[in-house]
Amino acid sequence: MSKRLPRILGIDAGGTMTDTFLIDEQGRFIVGKAQTTAHDESIGFLASLADGLKYWDMAVEEGVPPLRTGIYSGTAMLNRLLERKGRRVGVIVSGGMEDCLRLERGIQTYLSYSYSDRLHLVTHHHNEPLVPRERIYGARGRMDVFGAEAIPLYEQEVYLAVEKLLDQQVEAIVVSLLFSYKNPAHERRVGEIAREVMNERGKDVPVYLSSSLYPVRQDLPRLNSTLMEAYAAEPSRKSLQSVRQCVRDHGGHFDLRVMASHGGTISMDAKELARTLISGPIGGIIGARYLGDQIGIKHLACSDIGGTSFDIALITEGEFEITQTPDVARFLLSMPLVRIDSVGAGTGSYVRINPTSNRIEVGPDSAGARIGMCWAQSGVDTVSITDCNVVLGYINPDFFLGGEITLDRERAIAAVAEQIAAPLGLDVYDAAQGVVELFEDHLRNVLLSKILGQGYTPAAYTLLSYGGGGPLHVAGYSDGLAFDDILVPAWAPGFSAFGCACGDYEYRFDKTLDLPLLPKADADRRQAITDAINAAWDELREQVRSEFAKSGVAAEAITYKPAVRMLYYGQLNALEVVSPAQRLEAAGDLALITQGFEDLYSRIYGLGARTPQFGYMIMGVVMSGTSVVEKPSLPSEPLAAPDAWCANALKGTRKVYYRSIWHDANIIDLEKLAAGSEIAGPAVVESPSSTMFVPPGRRARLDEHRIFHLSVRTAAQLKLAAA
């Protein structure tokens, strides 16, 4: 057989596993998997790549040179933030704001707290500031809310602040002044003074201006975002570059891109690298949208179960939601982020008995890459969800990661018996079953609340399940929810890496404007608004062009997508409206924008919620630029008979414990399973990178694209079965 020609590489370095997704010249793909190596992600990447290429009988040195494009997503930057291992940074703010990092905003101090903890102040605490108070200096001077200079900048205070910061051996200086997004003159002058002082002292410390990086409203999120660039993003370039260098050392000739928070991919040399802080889960959403486009599904409920978390997002009318002020690691940020809701519940989540209530608690901490007590070398001393799955027979202890890691079922049984079953007075198998049911009930409630909170029902969506734990638990957390369909890709463990490969090469920049468009605005006012929007678009278009230029992309190869963020006058939450034209040629063109807003608003909130009589507020503008890149194609295989799997893919049977009964489940080899196969539960579909459980009463059909369609069991069906 002729050698494959790998063309596209997607990488997802998660908290537990590193997945690689490789596509060849005919659209065929493989998934590689290895444990994440947080200290040096290039090690885990190389192991995962080698694991994937072995399915094509290729060495890394053979598989890398033919690649034309590669996209990376990882956790190095986020881990640096969580572990407080960033740069030694100094900060200059407006005089009087020196304690802003200690005081925070009220909402930031409560992020990640449960409702009960929010009610009792004694349980809450402030974030540990990334920069201590002694390295934060104020400089008086003030721009007002309209961008006019109210108080001149006290330059002598700036000189003194820079000198003191340099004396403290800072590695970077962040400048964030009030209302600098309206008028950056003071911030730019601070940057000039900093350069003067450094030139005199023979030092070279990078200076980060919030007005240059994130010219948007809300001072604390803007400061946090700029701080992330200096504290975590810039040091993380070295981690990213180690992966890029690893690719080049093995013959790669392409520039490895990174998945960004807005859903596009950017260069590792991008100015705003903090946008890649949360990149792994983003890939799954991008892959879901691409998959939906390919198979004609516009409404998807995306659910991703990894080793540490459960991530959910909705794709409605073929688009995902973007939030402008997301929170990450208990910090409010000012950057566009694909809306993803996460809970600390994954297959590696620890399971404990609360000594006060004597009730089972799952997470939020996790064994991560250490799996659980079923792995003797893990060093873990607390039961995890994976331990319970091993006890119940769902996971083959001799085939974890294709047999690369051998799990100890007896050790897992002993741990569950001691830590869970004995305190509750239960049989060990009933205890493990109870833990899994509690875990899946929690995921079901989170998923349902997300859908209902948007004003929809599960019947309006197709559920897409992926991640290493998705296929194993999807039947459980979808039980009783009447989804239109339930999809589980055969490559579910590497789906986020697949999504990275589906991402556009895209840069996006935002700018705050605050332009009221009232019903009685005359022609001159409308023309002034039109001119302001065009000027801001031109400014952002140039930023997009310059970022692409760093990677050698010609200006004529860029496709621009201008947009505005607007709301009804007096409301709080803006919607993003894509402009039908590249420029607004006349004041009358504003009607195109407002009509687009009206259409979008009515789709989300209903026709009766519109209030055009109040006028509009154009909060800001957006400019996105994309360049065409190669993307994967879905497999298309001939369909075999529904029962063809019996002859080729059946590996045998295994006892599994489900709803307090031991069942003989068919064990099926996913790699040998032909498209068209229909599997009735109880069954376990195994591959080296994942396990899918089909419980009694459910069926799974593998279509021509190698996507499983799991039958829907609604609440009505459950009641009928119980009767």
Segment 141-181, tens digit of pLDDT: 999 988 899 999 999 999 999 999 999 999 999 999 999 99
For CA atoms 275, 276, 282, 286, the dihedral sign is positive
pLDDT by residue (tens digit) across 324-383? Answer: 888 887 888 888 888 888 777 788 888 888 888 888 888 777 777 778 888 888 788 889
CA angle 589–594–596, rounded 5-degree value: 100
Give the closest residue to 226 by CA, choosing from 335, 146, 112.
335
What does DSSP say about strands 341-343 and 310-316: parallel, antiparallel, or unpaired? antiparallel
How distant is the alpha carbon of residue 723 from its chain centre? 42
pLDDT of residue 2: 56
pLDDT of residue 15: 65
Task: DSSP for 72-83, please give it.
Answer: EE-SHHHHHHHT
CB 324 within 8 A of CB 574: yes
Which residues of the chain are modeled with pLDDT < 70?
1-2, 15-16, 27, 114-116, 121, 123, 280, 714-723
- Alpha-carbon radius of gyration of the chain: 27
CB 6 within 8 A of CB 67: yes
How distant is the alpha carbon of residue 655 from its chain centre? 37
Within 8 A by CB and 6+ apart from 494, the residues are 10, 12, 19, 20, 21, 31, 32, 33, 689
Kind plus residue range of the DSSP H or E element containing 48 = helix 41-53
pLDDT of residue 84: 83
What does DSSP say about strands 300-305 and 310-316: parallel, antiparallel, or unpaired? antiparallel
CB 389 within 8 A of CB 409: no
Distance CA 226, CA 241 (A): 21
Cβ neighbours, 10 Å, residue 345 = 22
Q: Which amino acid is at 361?
A: E
pLDDT of residue 656: 94
CB 149 within 8 A of CB 185: yes
What does DSSP say about strands 207-209 and 172-176: parallel, antiparallel, or unpaired? parallel
Retrieve residue 59's tokens: 């060495």
Distance CA 102, CA 689 (A): 44
Give the closest residue to 533 by CA, choosing from 485, 604, 592, 477.
592
